[in-house]
């Protein structure tokens, strides 16, 4: 599926559904965002579900303005939509 990433606003990109409030924490029927794969991976490698709630990152605007996400968003915006940067597994947050 090709559409527009709601975080970096690139298009057309392949998007995946991100639950702004983690499903595990009650977000099943709450708002979702269509995010490109790099943006989506970045969120989950920087933040655990608990972090997302604790840091109030349940809105796109908050994610965009987060001091750890902002530099990534600025960078990814300049990348052509076809670019899928490799995210290293070791960056993944594995504590919860």
The 3-state secondary structure of 14-63, one letter per residue: EEEEEECCCHHHCCCCCCEEEEEHHHHHHHHHHCCHHHHHHCCCCCHHHH
Backbone angles phi, psi at 12, to 5 degrees: -80, 135
User: 3-state DSSP call for residue 75?
Assistant: helix
CB of 4 to Zn ion, least distance (A): 9
Span of 2-10, 25-33, 53-61, 62-70 interacting with Zn ion by CB under 5 A:
2-10
Looking at the Cβ atoms of 5 and 57, the one nearer to Zn ion is: 5
Binding residues for Zn ion, total number by CB under 5 A: 6
Looking at the Cβ atoms of 39 and 46, the one nearer to Zn ion is: 39
Residues of span 35-64 touching Zn ion by CB under 5 A = 36, 39
Residues that bind Zn ion (CB under 5 A): 5, 7-8, 18, 36, 39
């Amino acid at each position: 599926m090709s559409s527009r990433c709601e975080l970096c606003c690139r298009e057309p990109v392949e998007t995946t559904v991100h639950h702004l409030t983690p499903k595990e924490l009650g977000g099943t029927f709450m708002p979702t965002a269509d995010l490109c794969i790099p943006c989506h991976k970045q969120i989950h490698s920087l933040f655990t579900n608990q972090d997302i709630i604790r840091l109030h990152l349940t809105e796109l605007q908050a994610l965009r303005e987060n001091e750890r996400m902002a530099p990534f968003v600025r960078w990814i915006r300049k990348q052509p939509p076809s670019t899928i940067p490799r995210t290293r597994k070791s960056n993944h947050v594995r504590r919860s």
